[in-house]
Amino acid sequence: MGIGDTSRVEMGSCTDLYYVDPGVYEVPGHTSVYLLDGERPTIIESGIGAHTDRVLAAVEELGIAREAIEVIALTHVHLDHAGGAGELAAACPNAEVVVHEQGAPHLVDPSTLVAGTKQVVGESGWQFYEYPEPVPEGRIREVTDGDVIDLGNHELAVHHAPGHATHQVVYHDPANDAVFTADVVGCFYEQFDTARVATPPPTFDLDQCIEDVELLREIGAETLLYSHFGPRPADGALDAYASLLKAWVGRVAQTRRRQEDDRAAFKHLLGANDVPDGWSDDLEYGELRMNFSGAVTYLDQQEGAPTRDREQPAAE
């Protein structure tokens, strides 16, 4: 599956469901945007604003009029998931934009989110992003844990999953026996046998992330619909990711103890990291910088040490 391609989800019990690769970061197989072609046509996730044309092309390929899209559901407001929401909302004038109540203000005014993203990924990482178009406040539907989005012959049951980000939710579609996982189970790229972690600052919480994995276990859906990337069977994935998260945070902690400072620890981890095919050095640097910084923030909070007193990896 290449950038711009659309595929039907044929896994498990899924019907009426498709996903498109919008080419986030200009690499294939990184981010999925899902299209639910039901009684109330729905887009789940948006990708970044630079590539909403590919999402809209997929909508047209499926024979859905832009005016027929009724819901744009976002799992959280990080830019790789919601950066294109404003442009999609403008192109789909009858759609309500669904997001957790804590994320809604960042869709209306994305300036704080943009500043935080630039701080985390550095200047080299920001080149892959685009300043998002704001979403008009009147177009936003705020949801929280326990809410249900009625889509006619489908529904999206909202479950708050704040370990990765306080504004993150997952959506359970019982009719498809599937769950849109956001970043609860990390990033699963085709060439690797296991997922990669997604541990961004400032609110990554290992303990809560493990609880979020347990939430998916309680939901019990047979199919996981990864935002990064595509559908996969749930069998075995939850245990594997919980173990991976714990191992990653432990690895960061151990590396920090063995290195002179956090800059040296980050450099060591960068040199030992497996890089997906097609990723540039700048992209891998930005992704690892984000995950490392989130783990460091969490560890410092556990120790009661202010992160700002630690020397952090420099932007390059």
The verdict on residue 315 lying in a domain is no
* pLDDT 10s digits, 191-244: 676 788 999 999 999 999 999 999 999 999 999 999 999 999 999 999 999 999
- Residue 106's pLDDT is 97
The verdict on residue 296 lying in a domain is yes
The verdict on residue 149 lying in a domain is yes
Burial state string for 240-269 with b = 16 or more CB within 10 A and e = fewer than 16 = bbbebbeebbeebbebbeeeeebeebbeeb
Dump the DSSP string for 148-217.
EEE-SS-EEEEEE-TTS-TT-EEEEEGGGTEEE-TTTT-B--TT-SS-B----TTT--HHHHHHHHHHHH
Mean pLDDT of 186-192: 83
Mean pLDDT of 286-310: 81
- Residue 193's pLDDT is 67
Residue type, position 233, single letter: P
> Which two tokens mark 134?
């704001």
pLDDT over 80 at 89, yes or no: yes
The verdict on residue 114 lying in a domain is yes
Answer yes or no: are the C-beta atoms of 36 and 42 closer than 8 Å: yes
pTM for the predicted model, two decimal places: 0.92
> Which two tokens mark 12?
């498990």
What band does 313 get if pLDDT is binned at 50, 70 and 90? very low
pLDDT over 70 at 307, yes or no: no
User: How many domains in the chain?
Assistant: 1
The verdict on residue 105 lying in a domain is yes
pLDDT over 60 at 163, yes or no: yes
Quick one: DSSP state of residue 260? S
Residue type, position 182, single letter: A
The verdict on residue 316 lying in a domain is no
Structural domain containing residue 103 = 6-309
Lowest-confidence pick of 75-79, 123-127, 173-177: 123-127
What band does 283 get if pLDDT is binned at 50, 70 and 90? confident
Average pLDDT, the chain: 92
Distances (CA, A) of 93 to 62, 70, 89, 133, 266: 18, 9, 6, 15, 45
d(CA 158, CA 132): 25
- Residue 306's pLDDT is 53
Percent of the chain with pLDDT over 90: 78
> Which two tokens mark 193?
């046998």
pLDDT over 70 at 297, yes or no: yes
- Residue 280's pLDDT is 85
The verdict on residue 214 lying in a domain is yes
Residue whose entry in the numeric block shows the structure tokens 């609110």:
203
CATH code, domain with 214: 3.60.15.10
pLDDT over 90 at 272, yes or no: no
The verdict on residue 314 lying in a domain is no
Mean pLDDT of 134-153: 97
